[in-house]
């Protein structure tokens, strides 16, 4: 059954209270019974002792008192009803008994008789004499060489005790039920009070949607479990809010980046239409349009790459990739462009290292970094490549003597669509996505990417990737 926490809590502790009270009641009643019986045994055994001493005179003579009722009265007070004396001979035959026994007799079981023969006193509860059970002591009267001469039995009705126990049981059970009902009511109220913040949290959490992620769950109470839950949920909402903000920003940036070349394209086309057949001008416009289309497809390609990596989230294909060969190939591919830009591109160190990963993505990472270094290094500069091993990781370093990046821009260069100088870098390969793709690739391979830079002096990008374990084997390139 689906009980609420409040009901469950209330049920639990009322049941627990009920069981504890019953256990307490049982122990209490048992102890009381023991005390009562002990006191009664004390009383009846005093009468039996007195009887023994009366029966055997100091001279050794045997004497039977005639009126037991006087003895009973002396011990049990005026009200002798329910108290009995019976004297038996060594064979168990009644010799004398108190008058209130009428025709009844206090029973003498075989076990008790044998015990008496052996000189032992027995205490027992017997029934069938009147309405109430009777506590009976059976005491042997011995003389000389342990010879049994008489058996004295003194009994006392348990009537008083029975009454006390009935009343006590009634009071106890009523008290237990009353306590349990009160505890259930108070407990349910307290549970409701304690769980009220949970209700508030549930309602607040239900209210929060994508549109009002700036709202928070009110944290009014102390820093207890509920307080901490509220704080944790608020932190979660904050993270969600940031993610939503990033997505919104990303969509806005992407639309803007695509809109700009489209606007340029449209403008150029309109001018071309008005130019009335100037072929040379038309050609110029077409070339410029093609550049804008290239730029758009570059952005779209990068966006698709990022979207794909977001979906894969680290689940890239894992094949053996010879990193040194990737570096060598990208170097060869870009050397021409570097030379054309008047830049010296060199591999300084290229240790044979193998990683587990996606060859296409790793090649893209290496390409983007070298490409950027060439893009942001003025004519006459240098770009150097290093592939080394450090602490079980492959370190790929691209060092350039280029423009560098200011301290303020450095933390953001890996953000999507972030560009330091938006006007200067507005060429085909400049949408501010290259480094964010590099970062995603490094992360998807269990690695990291970092940059050190000094404006005017140059930058060093460092990629760290975990090695496949074996070095020097090229399963793929």
- Subset of residues 457 to 476 that bind ligand ADP, contact rule: CB under 6 A: 459
Cβ nearer to ligand ADP, comparing 268 with 400: 400
Max Cα-Cα span within the chain: 163
Query: Which phi and psi (to 5°) does residue 132 adopt?
Result: -110, 155
Cβ nearer to ligand ADP, comparing 140 with 402: 402
Query: Which of 268, 292, 400, 440 is close enough to bind ligand ADP by CB under 6 A?
Result: 400
CB-CB contact of 477 with 322 (8 Å): yes
* Binding of residue 441 to ligand ADP (CB under 6 A): no
Query: Which of 216, 382, 429, 474 is close enough to bind ligand ADP by CB under 6 A?
Result: 429
- Could you tell me the two tokens for 240? 């969600």
Query: Which of 133, 140, 430, 447 is close enough to bind ligand ADP by CB under 6 A?
Result: 430
Chain centre to alpha carbon of residue 147: 78
- DSSP output for 367-406: HHHHHHHHHTS-TT-EEEEEEEEETTEEEEEEEE-S----
Query: Which of 133, 381, 402, 447 is close enough to bind ligand ADP by CB under 6 A?
Result: 402
CB-CB contact of 390 with 349 (8 Å): no
CB of residue 206 to ligand ADP, shortest distance in Å: 40
Query: Which of 418, 446, 452, 471 is close enough to bind ligand ADP by CB under 6 A?
Result: 418
* Binding of residue 254 to ligand ADP (CB under 6 A): no
Cβ nearer to ligand ADP, comparing 400 with 440: 400
CB-CB contact of 132 with 81 (8 Å): no
* 3-state class (DSSP) for residue 128: coil
Span interacting with ligand ADP, options 43-51, 134-142, 342-350, 417-425, rule CB under 6 A = 417-425
Span interacting with ligand ADP, options 153-161, 199-207, 322-330, 413-421, rule CB under 6 A = 413-421
CB of residue 431 to ligand ADP, shortest distance in Å: 5
Kindly state the number of chain residues that form the binding site for ligand ADP, as judged by CB under 6 A.
23
CB of residue 8 to ligand ADP, shortest distance in Å: 56
Rounded-to-integer distance, Cα 120 and Cα 114, Å: 9
Rounded-to-integer distance, Cα 67 and Cα 74, Å: 12
* Binding of residue 435 to ligand ADP (CB under 6 A): yes
Rounded-to-integer distance, Cα 349 and Cα 312, Å: 32
Span interacting with ligand ADP, options 101-109, 178-186, 274-282, 427-435, rule CB under 6 A = 427-435
- Could you tell me the two tokens for 174? 């009523």
3-state helix, strand, coil in the chain (%, to 5): 55, 20, 30
* Binding of residue 334 to ligand ADP (CB under 6 A): no
Tell me which DSSP letter residue 457 carries. T
CA distances from 433 to 110, 307, 350, 412 (A): 107, 12, 27, 12
Query: Which of 55, 355, 403, 442 is close enough to bind ligand ADP by CB under 6 A?
Result: 403
CB of residue 239 to ligand ADP, shortest distance in Å: 24
* Binding of residue 413 to ligand ADP (CB under 6 A): yes
Query: Which of 363, 372, 401, 464 is close enough to bind ligand ADP by CB under 6 A?
Result: 372
Query: Which of 87, 366, 420, 468 is close enough to bind ligand ADP by CB under 6 A?
Result: 420
* 3-state class (DSSP) for residue 345: strand
* Binding of residue 405 to ligand ADP (CB under 6 A): yes
Residues 6 or more apart whose Cβ sits within 8 Å of residue 254: 299, 303, 417
* Binding of residue 219 to ligand ADP (CB under 6 A): no
Name the residues that contact ligand ADP, by CB under 6 A: 372-373, 376, 400, 402-405, 413, 418-421, 425, 429-436, 459
């Amino acid at each position: 059954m689906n009980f609420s926490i409040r009901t469950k809590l209330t049920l639990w502790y009322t049941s627990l209270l009920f069981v504890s009270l019953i256990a307490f009641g049982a122990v209490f009643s048992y102890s009381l019974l023991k005390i009562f019986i002990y006191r009664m045994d004390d009383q009846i055994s005093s009468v039996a002792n007195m009887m023994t001493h009366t029966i055997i005179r100091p001279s050794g003579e045997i004497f039977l008192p005639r009126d037991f009722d006087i003895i009973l009265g002396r011990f049990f007070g005026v009200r002798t009803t329910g108290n009995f004396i019976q004297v038996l001979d060594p064979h168990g035959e009644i010799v004398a008994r108190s008058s209130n026994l009428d025709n009844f007799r206090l029973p003498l079981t075989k076990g008790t008789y044998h015990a008496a023969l052996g000189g032992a006193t027995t205490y027992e509860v017997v029934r069938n004499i009147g309405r109430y059970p009777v506590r009976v002591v059976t005491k042997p009267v011995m003389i000389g060489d342990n010879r049994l001469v008489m058996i004295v039995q003194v009994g006392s009705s348990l009537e008083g005790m029975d009454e006390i126990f009935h009343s006590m049981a009634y009071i106890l059970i009523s008290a237990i039920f009353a306590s349990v009902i009160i505890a259930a009511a108070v407990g349910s109220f307290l549970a409701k009070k304690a769980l009220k913040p949970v209700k508030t949290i549930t309602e607040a959490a239900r209210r929060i949607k994508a549109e009002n992620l700036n709202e928070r769950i009110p944290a009014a109470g102390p820093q207890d479990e509920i307080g901490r839950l509220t704080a944790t949920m608020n932190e979660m909402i904050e993270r969600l809010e940031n993610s939503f903000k990033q997505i919104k920003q990303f969509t806005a940036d992407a639309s803007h980046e695509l809109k700009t070349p489209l606007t340029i394209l449209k403008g150029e086309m309109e001018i071309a239409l008005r130019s009335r057949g100037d072929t040379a001008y038309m050609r110029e416009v077409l070339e410029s349009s093609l550049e804008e289309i290239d730029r758009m497809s570059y952005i779209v390609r990068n966006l698709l790459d990022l979207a794909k990596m977001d979906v894969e989230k680290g689940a890239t294909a894992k094949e053996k990739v010879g990193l040194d060969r990737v570096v060598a190939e990208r170097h060869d591919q870009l050397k021409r462009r570097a030379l054309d830009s008047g830049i010296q591109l060199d591999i300084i160190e290229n240790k044979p290292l193998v990683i587990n990963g996606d060859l296409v993505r790793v090649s893209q990472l290496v390409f983007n970094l070298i490409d950027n270094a060439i893009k942001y290094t003025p004519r006459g500069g240098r770009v150097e490549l290093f592939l080394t091993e450090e602490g079980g990781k492959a370190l790929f370093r691209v060092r350039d003597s280029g423009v560098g990046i200011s301290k303020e821009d450095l933390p953001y260069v890996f953000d999507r669509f972030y560009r330091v100088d938006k006007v200067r870098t507005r060429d085909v390969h400049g949408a501010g996505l290259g480094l964010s793709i590099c970062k995603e690739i490094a992360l998807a391979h269990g690695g990291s990417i970092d940059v050190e830079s000094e404006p005017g002096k140059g930058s060093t990008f460092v990629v760290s990737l975990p090695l496949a374990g074996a070095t020097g084997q090229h399963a793929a390139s």
